[in-house]
Amino acid sequence: MHYRRLTSELLRSNTVDGAPTGGASIVNKKMAIKKPSGGKPSKARSGGKRIDEMLGGGLPFRSCTLVQGPAFIGKDILLSQFVAEGIKYGIPALVILTQSTTSKFRKLIVEMDHKLEDRERSGLVSYVDCHAKTVGLMGKNPFALYLNGVADLEGLSRAIDKFQSAYKENYFYHRMIFDSLSPILRTHGINRTLSFLSNMAAKTKAFNGIAMFDLASGIHKQEEINALEHVVDGSFVLKEEKNGLFMMVKGLQDVKGRDWVRYSFDEKGIDITGSYSYSYIR
């Protein structure tokens, strides 16, 4: 189904697979991002210059990563920065929210890109909000689909599919962030979460996407986290110690260093501030 027809039908019905949305926007402007004419496509920049240097240029195309760490340590900044970096160059982004409302999360993106509202109107940013209604909010953002929590994983998957299939039709690739997997893991347990994440990872790659999934540390069993890591291509692991904040990258290709490295963040972004040993690993 063409994305314009899909958008029109969603707006008329105000539902996604029977779930009331409170607003809908799939892709309302056709602006294709063409594949580079020669060689392999460049990696996708994260928005952190030194993070990208350590990654060997950025995040690989058709990759999915976990972003692990406790609260208040900059995970949401890493995710929103990834969105902001892409939309500045015409790369669409899908934002899935299970523990934050659309209005709250978009404030993070606005700090990094003051033209966010223009990007939304041009179809570059869309949201699937699974949190607002669970806290009694109706949700009024016209670029968001509002679902009733995370109980219906099949419905959530179908909603994401509609966005991603529309993106593939009209863009070379897209970015997706998922904030967060933790409510799904708490609600459904490890087996269903593994199945859901595996499905998301496979479809994201099939639709030429790059995805980052938040996962809270300290509230899940380590064996559950280890199992989820087997489904994705790599992880950003963030931690806080007395002498600062540290990041480590696990998995992924072309990473130049696997040790803990110091980083810092504020509302404008997140990046590595410490040095790392050059140990090029493919």
State how far the Cα of 122 lies from the Cα of 31, in Å rounded to an integer. 9
pLDDT digits (tens, 9 = 90+) for 35-44: 444 455 578 9
What DSSP designation does 90 have?
A: T
Q: Are residues 143 and 25 in contact, defined by beta-carbon separation less than 8 angstroms?
A: yes
Of all residues in the chain, the percent with pLDDT exceeding 70 is: 83
Q: Token digits for 259? A: 């040790």
Which pLDDT does position 41 carry in this prediction? 58
Note the CATH number of domain 19-29+41-272: 3.40.50.300
pLDDT digits (tens, 9 = 90+) for 156-197: 999 999 999 999 999 999 999 999 999 999 999 999 999 999
In the predicted structure, residue 7 carries a pLDDT above the cut 60: no
Q: Are residues 234 and 197 in contact, defined by beta-carbon separation less than 8 angstroms?
A: no
pLDDT digits (tens, 9 = 90+) for 58-106: 999 999 999 999 999 999 999 999 999 999 999 999 999 999 999 999 9
State how far the Cα of 113 lies from the Cα of 93, in Å rounded to an integer. 13
State how far the Cα of 194 lies from the Cα of 74, in Å rounded to an integer. 25
Q: Chain-wide mean pLDDT for the chain?
A: 86
Q: Which residue from 45, 20, 61, 47 is spatially nearest to 168, judged by alpha carbons?
A: 61
Helix axes 182-206, 222-229, angle to 10 degrees: 10
List the domain boundaries for the chain: 19-29+41-272
Which pLDDT does position 163 carry in this prediction? 96
pTM of the model as a whole: 0.86
pLDDT digits (tens, 9 = 90+) for 115-124: 999 999 999 9
Q: Which residue from 63, 258, 257, 282 is spatially nearest to 176, judged by alpha carbons?
A: 63
Which pLDDT does position 139 carry in this prediction? 87
